[in-house]
Amino acid sequence: MSLGSLTSRIILDKNSYTNQDPYITGHVAILYNYSSANTSGTLFGPLKIILQLCGRSKTKIFERTMYSHTTYRGRAELVNRFHRIHDSPVQADGKEELIFPFALKMPTQAQEIRDQSVPSVYESHAYFANEGHALPPTMEVQCKDDASVYSGRPPFESFVEYWISARLEMPGIDVQVQKVRDLKFVYVVSSSAEKQAQAQRAGRTQSCRELAVVRTRRLLPENAQRHGLRQKAKAMMSGERQTTPSFTWLVKIMTPEKIWTGSWFEVAVGAAPYAVQGVDQKQDSAVDTPDIMLQSLSIYLLSTTRVRAEKEIMSEHSSEVERKEQLIVQKTWREGGLPLVLGSATPEETTSRVVKKDLIPSFKTWNISRQYVLAITCRFSVAGELADVEKRMDIEVGAAQPDQGDGAAPEYQAGMSVGSSQVEKQVHSGLLPPPPPYEG
């Protein structure tokens, strides 16, 4: 006859952890409910507690046609570790909880991302396919709106989750062990202030060049321009042909290769007349070099989430969505615009900031890819004509610094009789054993 049942639950000291935290701390609370077969109400025997730390990225791609609706799933295992926190005899009295604290170290790199059953021929450059890369944060991106359908991409769901589960064993004892429910927690990727400052000082920049052209008769000298309807009609009747000159200039945009959420970065925009080496530009361009005025500048941060799921022999189920995350800067200069120094190597600097601190940083797993792009639009005014230059530059978004004072233990829910402070008092007083060392 059974001696009763063991009911346990996992309680964490915090609801969220970062990669800067040394350990994931908490305790396992076990309650013994004795049966009528145990007249003393006390249970004594060997108890083994094993914790499992798991993490995975999952995707769902919904392909819908007129005749069928199919859901393709993709899973990638990120973390799967077992930790034995207790393996010795215990004595449990009925209606009293036993507390077993633990301290688990969260790995900073993924153990195994690629599914070994998938041939390497299906590997894509947009995803990582090997282990040893940084773990992504807890995230969830859903794309079920009509925008993805109209763009020819099927709607999808993608998320990354982490949780802790426990397994109890009492070999040789006739006691019913209740299954412990998995406890999910939030894993946030953050960067230390020192490493971020060093990376910003030694940060590399990227640049792009674009040619812009305006074609207008306003580039002609004043005495060569035809003003008024009479002069234009006279020139037309006499057969005089007036060519429209053009002016070409070079636009250079410089941005950092990596930015951090909540920190400052600089975007530089410069312009200069374009001259081909060995060719006189004035032969086929404007007679006089006009002023280049920056009329407006807008910079948007765009995110692209790519997902993929099950694979068939000749096809790969994938989808993606691009969303406008935020407006970085949008400036308009009146009274003609902002003059740019012609031929100068020092462009105009525009200082901006990534306002959002809750942005998901850039990451790649076997089935989910999160990337960012800076969409830059410059409007120039040359000789009274407007010309737009649009460029998209890939940029990596890093995690923000951890907030000072963050990490305080959250309030426990109703029914949690033992808090972390009581556990620490019992550990220091010798009533409970100290947390076991980390077992990799």
CATH code of the domain covering residue 109: 2.60.40.640
- Hey, which residues does 134 pair with through a beta bridge? 109
Gyration radius of the chain's alpha carbons:
32
Asked, for residue 183, whether it belongs to a domain, the answer is: yes
Which letter does DSSP use for residue 218 in this model? G
Do 37 and 176 lie in a common domain?
yes
Asked, for residue 148, whether it belongs to a domain, the answer is: yes
Do 63 and 180 lie in a common domain?
yes
Per-residue tens of pLDDT for the chain, all 440 residues: 466 778 888 989 988 888 888 899 999 888 877 665 565 667 778 888 889 899 988 999 888 777 888 888 888 888 888 889 888 888 877 777 888 999 998 888 887 544 444 444 444 444 544 556 788 899 988 887 655 554 667 888 999 999 998 888 887 776 777 777 778 888 888 876 666 666 665 566 787 788 888 877 667 666 556 655 666 666 556 555 556 777 888 888 888 888 888 777 878 888 888 764 444 444 445 556 778 888 888 889 999 998 888 776 666 788 888 888 888 878 787 666 666 654 444 455 566 677 677 788 888 888 888 999 999 998 888 878 888 999 999 998 888 776 543 333 333 232 233 333 333 444 344 433 444 443 43
- Hey, which residues does 234 pair with through a beta bridge? none
d(CA 167, CA 10): 11
Q: Give me the half-sphere count of Cα atoms (radius 13 Å) on the Cβ side of residue 295.
A: 13
Asked, for residue 131, whether it belongs to a domain, the answer is: yes
Q: Indicate the number of domains in the chain.
A: 2
Quickly tell me which residue has 């060719």 as its tokens: 279
pTM above 0.85, yes or no: no
Q: Which residues contact 68 (CB under 8 A, 6 or more apart)?
A: none
Domain of residue 40: give its range. Answer: 4-189+413-429
Do 237 and 151 lie in a common domain?
no
Do 43 and 96 lie in a common domain?
yes
Asked, for residue 440, whether it belongs to a domain, the answer is: no
Asked, for residue 149, whether it belongs to a domain, the answer is: yes
